[in-house]
Structure 1
């Protein structure tokens, strides 16, 4: 199997920064494919079949969606240094899930308030800000988004809680970073790097800034650029790993839906970016789902999703 790591991302994507830093931390060389921040994303959808959140990780003809799952893939590729210290395995995953949801949406509600959005799009034509807003509105569906004032209050509280942890150690749970640090960092990174006009919210918690400096110093590791067409050609030239033999450890079938393997199904995120991907269900384990799908440009690919945060349904009959 070709183990070239290809990250489909864009520079200002917070969740992409989470994975870029992890690649640096694990010293995994990777190939960078830059994708649009908003739709249309024809090359991304050729690989995923519908999923359009950023980033997406490609290894040959295996496509991994959602950073929670991508973390597990990187851990399997290079177990040391670990993202999941044995004595923290449960608590760091739970913290990371909170950070990727509650903390992240509070941070972004604060970051993209009118003053922050004006800074982000200051050098872009007026239609760019409108297009971005409409794109994210389409991704949000029925999701409840925090208003700027409420987001600011929550973000201040969360920063104080993180400061309580950063006061005690170099990183949130000890002397080395774990998945919790990378998940907590990316929304704060956006405040510091993308909307510095709003970064004064961090002044009240100096230990958070010191911790963020240590995270930033990890860097992105060894990256080479790759065109999206080249990535698609690499997927077409590769064979996806057999179900149970890919870069995810568990393989036993866990049937919680009464949907047998081999069924035509759809998988979609529960809330944000819930465009479905349709394919043949080839794995449903305790941690993830895998679909087999075929695309005229990519050939046969296997697309993988975490269980948590995703909805599995039998596809409507054709």
Structure 2
């Protein structure tokens, strides 16, 4: 198997989701720590514009978004499975809810001013303000803390109802839904413990989180950002599988396009559209440092446009 390189930073909730899946599958991986705020020149050299954390690199192939990263890791190591056959639909639907609605409420609650102050205690002056300004520029959900707290409490009770009956959300083994629901709660518990009292009303949720934590984070090895760029420059993108082109836009393969997230972190990536399958898009692009690359995105949650119709950076 080609080595896995995860570009992430320790306190990123979605990065923790990816790290937890790597642990579930007991995979070895290279760990590249990226900045939590812009500018991110080494990130953009590989992604072409996408700046959300994490992304997965395999040689000269770049996989954006944890939904796609989970699919890639499942393909590389099918067992234990993230998508049990009898749960294929419901686990994905639940994971999408968790990555959007649950995440939005949890993080609006988690990053209240007193929590941000605690999170950045010991950092240089201005770090908290820079982080807040960076996330505001990314757009997305701006739920008021009071509304977020009420929603978060309700969601925690619903998760508790599920894990009171089973060790994991849908049975005796974890699936993709568990990892999607876990990471914003992990952030509450471990990154902003000043806010973690909200979890005490649902002890079954804390026990479920402990079971997920016991799976570990695989076998990481420190790796430099420049080393990762060197790996990309020395590799060729893998041949694309023979999947059917699914045209929903009237944009032909080979067209110059942009792809951007629908809402949060809408900086576009520009390139040549070389695949549009049922589940993903692939762009071919070139970078002066990283060479020829294929950058892959899931269809769900992303917007495809002709390059001359792009909306520019958000």
Partner of 2:249: 257
1:118 deviates by 1.2
* Cross-structure match for 1:280: 272
Correspondences of 1:160-239 after superposition (within 5 Å): 160-239=157-236
Distance 2:305 2:240 in 1: 20
1:270 to 262, 266, 269: 262
Q: TM-score, normalising length from structure 2?
A: 0.97
CA deviation profile, 1:100-136 (whole Å, cap 9, x unmatched)? 0000011101111112111101112331011101111
CA drift of 1:53 comes to: 0.1
Equivalent of 1:300, from 289, 292, 295? 292
SS in 2 for 1:73: helix
The answer on 1:310 being equivalent to 2:299 is no
RMSD between aligned alpha carbons? 1.2
| 1:105 corresponds to | 104
**Cα distance between partner residues in 1 of 2:261 and 2:194:** 32
Q: Given that residues 95 and 180 in structure 1 are in contact (C-alpha distance below 8 angstroms), is that contact kept between their aligned partners in structure 2?
A: yes
Between the aligned partners of 2:141 and 2:98, the Cα distance in structure 1 is 17
Which secondary structure state, in structure 2, belongs to the residue aligned with residue 126 of structure 1? Answer: coil
Give ranges in structure 1 of 5+ residues lacking alignment: 246-250
Distance in 1 separating the partners of 2:205 and 2:141: 28
Q: How many residue pairs end up in the alignment? A: 310
Indicate the SS of the match to 2:22: helix
Determine the C-alpha separation between the residues in 1 that align with 2:110 and 2:125: 19
Distance 2:148 2:125 in 1: 25
- Where does residue 158 of structure 1 map in the other structure? 155
Contact 2:104 2:141 in 1 (8 A): no
Q: TM-score w.r.t. structure 1 length?
A: 0.96
Residues 1:88 and 2:87 are matched in the alignment: yes
Distance 1:210 1:267 in 2: 39
Rounded to whole Å, the distance in 1 between the matches of 2:141 and 2:58 is 34
Q: Give the C-alpha shift of residue 244 in structure 1.
A: 2.0
Q: Cα 1:111–1:144, aligned 2, differ >3 Å: closer, same or farther? A: closer
1:150 is displaced (CA, Å) by 0.5
In structure 1, what is the Cα distance between the partners aligned to 2:8 and 2:101?
Answer: 22
1:80-116 Cα distance to aligned partner (Å, 9 max, x none): 0000000000000000000000000111011111121
Cα distance in 2 for partners of 1:147, 1:26 equals 37
Measured in 1, the distance between the counterparts of 2:143 and 2:21 equals: 28
Q: Structure 1 residue 243: deviation in Å?
A: 2.2
**1:202 to partner: Cα distance:** 0.7
For 1:203 and 1:299, the matched residues in 2 are separated by 50
Stretches of structure 2 lacking an aligned partner (at least 5 in a row): 310-314
Which range is displaced more, 67-76 or 122-131?
A: 122-131
Give the Cα–Cα distance (whole angstroms) in 2 for the partners of residues 74 and 220 of structure 1. Answer: 13
Distance across 2 between alignment mates of 1:235 and 1:29? 18
Distance 2:106 2:211 in 1: 20
**Does structure 2 retain, via aligned residues, the 8 Å contact 1:65–1:303?**
yes
SS of the aligned residue for 1:316 comes to: helix
Q: Does structure 2 conserve the Cα–Cα contact (< 8 Å) formed by 1:244 and 1:283?
A: no
Report the alpha carbon displacement of residue 279 of structure 1 after superposing the two structures with TM.
0.3
State the secondary structure of the residue aligned to 1:265.
strand
State the alpha-carbon separation in 2 of the partners of residues 188 and 7 from structure 1: 21
CA distance in 2, matches of 1:198, 1:126: 22
The SS at the match of 2:172 is coil
1:272, CA displacement in angstroms? Answer: 0.2
Q: What secondary structure sits across from 2:138 in the alignment?
A: helix
